[in-house]
Amino acid sequence: MADLKSRFNITFANLPIPVRDNVAVVVDDKPLSWNVLKIEVDNGTELSTKALNILDKLDFLKKI
């Protein structure tokens, strides 16, 4: 999980600021913007774990 969190943080840091308001992923019928997902990841929520796994499967996270 730490690897996915690190990869997410690198991806997030490289996003243009206006893009961060766009939907990054939909988890359990809840659309999450990049900004909301950043808060979830920082807090280590169950929702962030699901979202990071989805983003990883979609190959959206930057490789280290």
- Over the stretch 11-25, which tens digit does the pLDDT of each residue have? 999 999 999 999 999
Please enumerate in sequence order all residues whose Cβ is within 8 A of that of 39, keeping only pairs 6 or more positions apart, or say none: none
- State pTM to two decimals: 0.91
Residue 44: pLDDT band with limits 50, 70, 90: very high
Q: Which domain holds residue 22?
A: 2-57
Residue 28: pLDDT band with limits 50, 70, 90: very high
Count how many domains the chain has.
1
Residue 62: pLDDT band with limits 50, 70, 90: confident
| Residue 62 is assigned to a structural domain of this protein | no
| Residue 22 is assigned to a structural domain of this protein | yes
Compute the distance between CA of residue 12 and CA of residue 54 in angstroms, rounded to an integer.
15
| Residue 26 is assigned to a structural domain of this protein | yes
* The pLDDT of residue 2 is above 80: no
